Amino acid sequence: MSIENFIHRFEPAAAAGLPPLLLLHGTGGDESDLLPLGRAVAPGAALLSPRGKVLEHGMPRFFRRLAEGVFDEDDVRRRAGELAAFVDAARERYKIPAPIALGYSNGANIAAAVMLLRPQTFAGAILLRAMVPLATPPHADLAGKPVVIVSGAQDPIIPAANAARLAAQLREAGARVEHQTLPLGHGLSNADLTIAQRWLAEAAGTRAPAE
């Protein structure tokens, strides 16, 4: 696959020793949507940010859904394969190592699907407001890969049990999963940023930004 198959933005690293971030937006976002978050989470890291190729009422997404919270799982699998191939092509073009996925909502869901379907694609993942992408996940070897899931206790879209089931699926595949629940809804907050910064600093072996 050519990287031109996804509209995307790439910002090269401005500091050494940081893993690149793959930024995956939520429904209605685009390739610019999460760049400020990526810069805040990992100042100086390389950022790769594709636009989802599926349109829902004109809003970009990474895969089709049949209703809110009901996914077209055949499309999930196909789009996860496309995204993994894009990441492989982008790594070759931009000379970057395996990225850590930073996804929000629909972007977090496709990131989780890629981890389960193409385990070698990511070095880890920050999944903000994620839910189970595949009812019956495939066998995957995620041995030791770090993942943080940040859920909202008042999220009207994602039941707490669903987010917990995703954490369990990833743990069963061998990932080192941290799952935190904030007293929030589906939207993001500064608390999400703080958790992501701290988690990435620990996962990458770097110091967290000063408070």
Q: Report the catalytic residues.
A: 105, 155, 186
In the numeric block, which tokens belong to residue 43?
């100042």
CA distance 105 to 129: 5
No. of H helices and E strands in the chain? 5, 11
CB neighbourhood size of 176 (10 A): 15
Closest CA to 69 of 106, 102, 101: 106
What b/e readout covers 16-45, taking b as 16+ CB neighbours within 10 angstroms?
eebbbbbbbbbbebbbebbbebbbebbeeb
Instruction: Say if residues 185 and 154 touch (Cβ distance below 8 Å).
Output: yes
CA distance 154 to 130: 14
CA distance 115 to 135: 15
Q: Give the angle 129-138-87 at the CA atoms, nearest 5°.
A: 65
